[in-house]
Amino acid sequence: MAARSFRRAGLCSAVALSLLIIADPTPAQIVVYDPSNFSQNVLTAARELQQVNNQIQSLANEAQMLTNQARNLASLPLSTLSQLQTTIQKTQSLLAQAQHIAFEVEQIETAFATTYGPTSATASSSGLLATAQTRWRNSVAAFEDSLKVQAGVVGNISGNGSAMSSLTSASQTATGALQAAQAGNQLLALQSQQLSDLIAVVAAKSRADALEQSRITAAESQGQEQYRRFSTRSGYQPGNVTMFHGN
């Protein structure tokens, strides 16, 4: 009787355990490896990584382009403009100091209508002498002015050489197109200033030569008039003159 009761109790326990297992709602999870899907995911990740690299390279190129633009737009830190302007002003000042007859059309016209014009037949002897002295002083002053201009231009050579050296060095070490262009423009300005100096020298020398030639021409005209007056004086009789008496 006891044994039968024990078997009956064990059977009930087994049935209850089976019910518990059947009633468990948790489903079984099984991991499945799909090689095709995995390869596709790897390819997709590689493409996305390549796109990121391309974007990084594009940003790097844009940054380099902006850097180059900044260099091309950078101004030249060297400027010789004020020095060139000062040099030109010095030469202009020397030309403005021209004595007696300046580099002006009106003064030249007046001088050649009076001092350098044809000798008047009614001018007094003292007037002719004064006019001749005026022409002589004009010539001497013109040669003095010419020498001053030449000396000033020669004095500019040292400063021009220093400026040319600095600009050439700046052009060779320019970091961008703007700096190179500005250095080139300043070199052209330096050449223009040197050309102006050369023109000033030629003008001053030509002025002196022209006044001297004009003096010589006017002196010939005046000499002819003085000879005419001398030869037509009343009481003058040409004759032989004995300069030396022999023993």
Q: Tell me which long-range contacts 70-75 makes (C-beta under 8 A, separation of at least 24).
A: 70/176, 71/175, 71/176, 72/176, 72/177, 72/178, 73/176, 73/178, 74/175, 74/176, 74/178, 74/179, 75/178, 75/179, 75/182
3-state SS assignment for residue 30 = coil
Distance between CA 109 and CA 102 in Å, rounded?
Answer: 11
- By CB atoms closer than 10 A (0-12, 13-18, 19+), residue 83 is middle
Among 31-40, 56-65, 117-126, 193-202, whose mean pLDDT is lowest? 31-40
Quickly state the pLDDT bin for 124 (edges 50, 70, 90): very high
Q: What pLDDT was estimated at residue 190? A: 93
Quickly state the pLDDT bin for 174 (edges 50, 70, 90): confident
Distance between CA 151 and CA 139 in Å, rounded?
Answer: 19
Q: What pLDDT was estimated at residue 19? A: 47
Q: What pLDDT was estimated at residue 4? A: 52
Q: What is the pTM of this model?
A: 0.66
Task: Decide: 156 and 87 in contact? Cβ < 8 Å.
Answer: yes
Residue 34 has pLDDT above 90, yes or no: no
Once rounded to an integer, what is the mean pLDDT over residues 211-223?
94
Q: What pLDDT was estimated at residue 222? A: 92
Q: What pLDDT was estimated at residue 136? A: 96
Q: Which is it for the CA torsion 163, 167, 168, 169, positive or negative? A: positive
Average pLDDT, the chain: 83
CA dist 128 → 168, 215, 229, 231 (Å):
59, 13, 12, 17
